[in-house]
A and B are shown apart, each in its own frame.
Chain A
Amino acid sequence: MTETFFEADEQQAIDQYLQQGFVSFELDATLLDSLRERLFTGARSLLDLPADLSVDAFFDQIHTWVPVADLNRVRLGFIRHLNGDPSVRPLLYRLAKQPLGWIVGNELAMQRSLNLSIQFPKDASSLLPLHSDVWSGNSPYEVVFWLPLVDCYATKSMYVLPKPQTDAVLADFGRYADLSAEAFFQAIKADVVWMEVPRGHGLIFWHGLIHGNRINEENDTRWSMNTRFKSLLSPYGTKELGESFLPITLRPATRFGYAYRKPSIHKRES
């Protein structure tokens, strides 16, 4: 008889992650709304918005009030606002706590700085060409919690090259190594999957997957956050502990184990 330790929904998430390199899940609506409200409140102090503007209209239509040339300044203002609020990182962790436990574990390190992507319709200035985070020094033991703040689909979302296809590219990397990012994308375009993640859902993906985004050809603005997590005691990349990651859930058994000293048979001098 085979022993089974994972529960059915946990096993399902693990299987999907192992097969594809990503898994989506439902979020606690109250926590998500609270995060969106914080950004909306921050926006009111940063931008001159109509008094009767709804939260939904703000997120979908922000391109109506902010010119593209001003987007990066505004985005950095939001990021400062988020990073200045000590309750946001714990809130993000709570949003993904269960699937993180399933995919990574329960003793975790979390990325220190919070990021925010805002991609206006037709804007070519906020693109992230195809890449894998591991290529720029992140540890392959990390995952990304990708949190859309609006409905994300088609080009308003991101694409990933699923695990089997990413593995195939990496195994034959010499074939792609001399290509431009655009030519590389064209070479794998048929195999990429556009993440359909409606608002109220999140995604955990392995950033070793080849991924990126393209010009948002839809009518509304894309908003998303991405935060990296890793098992606390797994190897770190050049995004090091302290500089880029901090422990968030160090468990008592690890504290006891670390503090343990082999008893000495020699009598202590008094």
Chain B
Amino acid sequence: MGEVPKRGWRGYISSREQGGHFIPQRVQNLVIRDYAARHGLLFLLSAVEYYMDDCTMMLRALVDEADSLAGILFYSTHLLPKDPVVREQLWQQVRERDFTLRFALEELVVADAQGITAMEDLLLVRDLTENRSDFDLVDR
């Protein structure tokens, strides 16, 4: 019997500002490639998210590819969708399939329900400390 082909990791980088910084795509790719090499991951080319605010079209395209991927290798947690509904679609892939999200800059992994909770906690605290310094109760 032939060896089962190893599934690859699609990189995910962005062309817009993230976490208050503009990171050149070349640098984002260098960080991803280095991470993949150190962890022995088969790295496929990166998809580049469009620059329009909050746009997740490329990410959705990667989710559509989930069956053929081991997971998505994000440059950073700052590239996760701000919209909880869109994030939930990602988490669903993690919960229901053998699908993992890795974040090269922070060296974090979301591979199960526990990882999802930890990541949501991180995003909650980041949002509270960076964006909600006032008592903001309006709908987001």
- Give chain A's interface residues, CB within 8 Å of chain B: 109, 232-236, 240-243, 246-247, 250, 254-255, 258, 260-262, 264
Contacts and interface: CB of A to CB of B under 8 A. Distances in A.
Contact of A262 (B105, B118, B124, B139): B139
What 3 A-B pairs come out closest when comparing CB atoms?
A242-B106, A262-B137, A243-B106
Nearest to B105: A243
A58 B126 CA distance: 43
A236 B138 CA distance: 25
Contacts of B45: none
Given A240-B19, A242-B106, A109 B125 contact: yes
A44 to B, nearest CB: 27
B31 to A, nearest CB: 11
A260 B128 CA distance: 13
Contacts of B128: 233, 254, 258
Range, interface on chain B = 10 to 19
Contacts of B121: 247, 250
Chain A CB within 10 A, most for which of B19, B106, B118 = B106
A261 B137 contact: yes
Given A236-B129, A242-B76, 19 more contacts: A109-B125, A232-B125, A241-B122, A242-B77, A242-B106, A242-B126, A246-B118, A246-B122, A247-B121, A247-B122, A250-B121, A250-B124, A250-B125, A258-B124, A258-B128, A260-B137, A261-B137, A262-B138, A264-B139
Contacts of A236: 129
Contacts of A233: 125, 128-129
A242 B121 CA distance: 10
Contact of B139 (A240, A243, A246, A261): A261
A246 B117 CA distance: 12
A42 B134 CA distance: 48
Interface string B49-64: 0000000000000000
B86 interface: no
Nearest to A234: B129
A232 B128 CA distance: 10
A231 B66 CA distance: 38
B108 interface: yes
Interface string B95-136: 000000001011010000000001001101111110000000
14 contacts: A232-B125, A233-B129, A236-B129, A240-B19, A241-B122, A241-B126, A242-B77, A250-B121, A254-B124, A254-B128, A261-B137, A261-B139, A262-B137, A262-B139
Contacts of A254: 124, 128
A174 to B, nearest CB: 30
A261 B136 CA distance: 9
Chain A CB within 10 A, most for which of B122, B125, B139 = B125
B115 to A, nearest CB: 12
A114 B44 CA distance: 32
A253 to B, nearest CB: 12
B23 to A, nearest CB: 13
Contacts of B139: 261-262, 264
Contacts of A241: 122, 125-126, 129
Interface string B72-97: 00001100000000000000000000
Chain B CB within 10 A, most for which of A109, A234, A243, A254 = A243
A233 B121 CA distance: 12
Contact of B124 (A240, A255, A261, A264): A255
Contacts of A234: 129
Nearest to B20: A240
Contacts of B19: 240
Contacts of B122: 241-242, 246-247
